[in-house]
Structure 1
Amino acid sequence: MGSGKVTSSEHLDWQGRHVTVAGLGVSGIPAAKALHARGAHVTVVNDGDDARAREQAAALEALGITVRLGDGATLPEGAELVVTAPGWKPDKPLFTAAREAGLEIWGDVELAWRLRGPVAAPWLAITGTNGKTTTTQMLASILKAAGLRTAAVGNIGVSLLDAVLGDEQYDVLAVELSSYQLHWAPSLRAHSAAVLNLAPDHLDWHGSMEAYAADKGRIYEGNRVACVYNVADKATEDLVREADVEEGCRAIGFTLGTPGPSQLGVVEGILVDRAFVEDRHKNAQELAEVSDVNPPAPHNIANALAAAALARAFGVPARAVRDGLRDFTPDAHRISHVADVDSVAYVDDSKATNTHAAQASLAAYESIVWIAGGLAKGATFDELVAKSAKRLRGVVLIGQDRALIREALARHAPEVPVVDLDRTDTGAMPAAVQEASRLAVAGDTVLLAPACASMDMFANYNKRGEAFAEAVRGLAGAGA
């Protein structure tokens, strides 16, 4: 590689190059170590300077990596490339300085893509506002059922760098990608990719819905075999139309209805493929039964169809789709059945941290006592309440921004009983469950689908879900 800034070519010679890594943490530390191991002069910059950051810095400095704490704004002298943690906003002064200096800015996904070996496993990539993790895990389960060496990686918790640089050999990777990661991944070219859905989210980071959608759409750029979109969400199909893909790459839709040619869908309780079959205008391939999907809620069936479409694009046989879906167990706090108490089902969907996710959850049940509230993150609730009103037996509100939901309920579901707990302490959850049990009758579902983030009351959505499950178990014990 010649002198000057790092170029866009793959499989670079890093020896002696000056690279700035922005941010410590799950992506920054592996990136710094990987670049240092290849001979680069690495400087890590980090806004924070707390005890944990100092501990992480000391470990990197012991390797010979330079770390600057408390100053993530200034571009180090001599920098030739910036590699950033995905969450750093594009308008940070560090990036402004980098662009003015003519430097490229890569995220951890871009770096992993560039550091792949010459016979690297292809990527099947997934993004969307909701359902990414579940769909990626479903896809990995299907690929494993087909006998392929694979892993669910990316935004899902397993570092892509570890996957592409580790000793384990993969046939294919199931890759979850966030809008942040896609923003910083200009040269990513997947085998096939899916955008599950699009709804307003992270707009403070992206600046607008248009910018958010454009970053999601990057996942289709350069796809070789299939661009998978949601027939019910026209914005995802629009992104396919706008993408520059390799010749022969196909647009493949998934739908909860009867599929047309080049689509996967549902016919009389059967998941069917009319995309990857001979003479798709006349023929369809049965893949699995709706009952093979866990749980068989509508939005989760859509996730399964998207995963199946990507697997089929990779040549996976129909039997493996069925076996992989049967083998799949969803993560906790994702529309998870906790218990039945007095013929009332209690379901934990604490992961429903925005209105789009909550709407999908509410659509899965006929008669609901809804526990909602938390940090709204700028969201409005009128559309959610209007679409779900006919399903609501009652509502219990907790959390900092519960008034926004209460006001939407007054406008669009004034006849629905509402209990406003006026609490933001963690002890509110047992009270919320108790109130919900009083509103519910046999056959109802008490559903924790907060439509809000959890940090006003809990460390994260996992802790919120655990508090709900513990309260339900207490209720079951009291009724025993």
Structure 2
Amino acid sequence: MGSQEVSTVDWQGKHVTVAGLGVSGIPAARALHERGALVTVVNDGDDERARAQAAELEALGITVRLGDGATLPPSTELIVTAPGWQPDKPLFLAAAEAGVDIWGDVELAWRLRGDNGRKAAPWLAVTGTNGKTTTVRMLASILEAAGLRTAAVGNIGVSLLDAVLGDQEYDVLAVELSSYQLHWAPSLRAHSAAVLNLAPDHLDWHGSMEAYAADKGRVYEGNTVACVYNAADPATEDLVREADVEEGCRAIGFTLGAPGPSQLGVVDGILVDRAFVKNRQKQAQELAEVSDVNPPAPHNIANALAAAALARAFGVEPAAVRDGLRNFRPDAHRIEHVADIDGVAYVDDSKATNTHATEASLAAYDSIVWIAGGLAKGATFDELVTGAAKRLRGVVLMGADRALIHEALTRHAPEVPVVDLDRTDTGAMSEAVEHAARLARPGDTVLLAPACASMDMFTNYNKRGEAFADAVRARAETSA
């Protein structure tokens, strides 16, 4: 199916099982029911919230089965699943045995785009282990600066179904896609797409690094204009080579160095384009200054280049790239400067929940007191510590798996002082900030970049970042 073609499905009387309540399951169930499908929602949980959600759907005539997400309902012709449900769940094994297709919410949105009678907006898609949300929001800002009707949607928290079926008309959508979503999106065909980077993550879900990479690579399938890859990460270029794309689709690299032909890069503090110019062998187009990127940390400049590449693939003029980057404001807890106290900067990068993100965060500063720890999710820390050792003034560790980081520090940075907080309550953050402040010297950065998930101590990374910011602000008040 070509990129701009719209698939039509006769939903009337079709037995569809929706797997999972929540941000994707409920809109999917409603959309299918409105189109005449006979919808059954199955959900593992049976708590108060699930029962309230079920009551709303049942009032519409949708069947809901709580506490039983394992059994395939009779007569099921299609399953639409929430992205987080693992492929080895009994429900899916039963579906495979019965020859029943499984779609994710992204696949359903792709199939339903244009269903409301309007022209389907093309998708500019972004995936990768880290930087997806920032890149998609940068891209949306650039597209808006170009005067285009757009939205940042998908894994960013805005339902794709709502975007494609809502009242708002769009010229183009900036779409963040996770590996989970791509796994369940077999017919997705983007206008252009980017894989920002690849590092081990969610391997318990995918089963192997190879399977994880293959799911990320699905984003390139059927691209019509550009497959954007990271020149510093050969695995992303490999995925481009393996993709089956439309004739004429180009491979476009981005690099923090001087770009070659068909690349975007950086020359003397200027973001430049040697991909979407008439004579890319000899010419380069200035897009923006590094100072236009907020914050101008190396990995964030890479995000900006990827966003610029996708926007240029869509025909956006250079001035809109500059204006869009200037207008962009990063989300909270992503290299967010909280305060300067006694010559020390305090930075919240609670979103750095894996080693790859933390590596990029640590590389942005010269002298660091690092606050780290939490749930390691099977990660190892030797490579991370080895790369950062020379930048570390000191380290404060907390959380369930802090010993794994401590052991790596002992092996590869034995001279760096380490404070090991033997507590996993939320109040530990205040103590961590106090210890970090004592270790820091003027000119240093106290950096919360945990390299771990937060759920051992906090509800999510946002709450962890808020606890850090609160502790820093409390210290600022006492130091004033």
- TM-score, structure 2 normalization: 0.98
Counterpart in 1 of 2:289? 289
Counterpart in 2 of 1:275? 275
1:407 aligns with 2:407: yes
Counterpart in 1 of 2:396? 396
Counterpart in 2 of 1:336? 336
For 1:464 and 1:114, how far apart are their aligned partners in 2? 38
Deviation for aligned residue 1:412: 0.4
Counterpart in 2 of 1:255? 255
For 1:86 and 1:476, how far apart are their aligned partners in 2? 42
1:370 aligns with 2:370: yes
For 2:284 and 2:317, how far apart are their aligned partners in 1? 13
For 2:44 and 2:464, how far apart are their aligned partners in 1? 29
For 2:172 and 2:228, how far apart are their aligned partners in 1? 17
SS across alignment from 2:143: helix
Q: Which amino acid aligns with 1:364?
A: A
2:370·2:448 contact (CA, 8 Å) conserved in 1?
Answer: yes
SS across alignment from 1:288: strand
For 2:74 and 2:337, how far apart are their aligned partners in 1? 55
Q: Which amino acid aligns with 1:410?
A: T
For 1:68 and 1:425, how far apart are their aligned partners in 2? 36
For 2:63 and 2:474, how far apart are their aligned partners in 1? 52
Counterpart in 2 of 1:22? 19
For 1:443 and 1:25, how far apart are their aligned partners in 2? 45
Q: Which amino acid aligns with 1:106?
A: W
SS across alignment from 1:137: helix
Equivalent residue runs for 1:37-436 within 5 Å:
37-117=34-114, 119-436=119-436
**Deviation per residue, 1:317-373 (Å, 9 max, x gap):** 000000000000000000000000000000000000000000000000000000000
SS across alignment from 1:339: strand
Q: Which amino acid aligns with 1:172?
A: V
Counterpart in 2 of 1:5? none
Structure 1 runs, 4 residues or longer, greater than 4 Å off: none
Deviation for aligned residue 1:285: 0.3
**Deviation per residue, 1:127-161 (Å, 9 max, x gap):** 00000000000000000000000000000011000
SS across alignment from 2:324: helix
Q: Which amino acid aligns with 1:332?
A: A
For 2:74 and 2:323, how far apart are their aligned partners in 1? 55
2:276·2:313 contact (CA, 8 Å) conserved in 1?
Answer: yes
**Deviation per residue, 1:154-195 (Å, 9 max, x gap):** 000110000000011000000000000000000000000000
Deviation for aligned residue 1:9: 8.7
Deviation for aligned residue 1:421: 1.2
- In terms of mean alpha carbon deviation, does 178-187 or 46-55 score higher? 46-55
SS across alignment from 2:216: helix
**Deviation per residue, 1:410-453 (Å, 9 max, x gap):** 00000001011111111111110010010000000000000000
Counterpart in 2 of 1:4? none
For 1:23 and 1:476, how far apart are their aligned partners in 2? 45
Q: Which amino acid aligns with 1:229?
A: Y
| Percent identity between the two aligned chains | 85
Deviation for aligned residue 1:99: 1.0
Q: Which amino acid aligns with 1:335?
A: I
Counterpart in 2 of 1:474? 474
Q: Which runs of 5+ in 2 are unaligned?
A: none
**Deviation per residue, 1:61-99 (Å, 9 max, x gap):** 000000001111111111110100000000111111111
Q: Which amino acid aligns with 2:335?
A: I
Deviation for aligned residue 1:474: 1.0
SS across alignment from 2:12: coil
Q: Which amino acid aligns with 1:390?
A: K
- TM-score, structure 1 normalization: 0.98
For 2:366 and 2:430, how far apart are their aligned partners in 1? 24
For 2:201 and 2:177, how far apart are their aligned partners in 1? 15
Q: Which runs of 5+ in 1 are unaligned?
A: 1-7
1:11·1:116 contact (CA, 8 Å) conserved in 2?
Answer: no
2:6·2:113 contact (CA, 8 Å) conserved in 1?
Answer: no
For 2:90 and 2:452, how far apart are their aligned partners in 1? 30
2:11·2:32 contact (CA, 8 Å) conserved in 1?
Answer: yes
For 1:448 and 1:259, how far apart are their aligned partners in 2? 33
Q: Which amino acid aligns with 1:24?
A: L
Q: Which amino acid aligns with 2:305?
A: L
For 1:193 and 1:101, how far apart are their aligned partners in 2? 34
For 2:268 and 2:477, how far apart are their aligned partners in 1? 40
2:106·2:185 contact (CA, 8 Å) conserved in 1?
Answer: yes
For 1:266 and 1:10, how far apart are their aligned partners in 2? 41
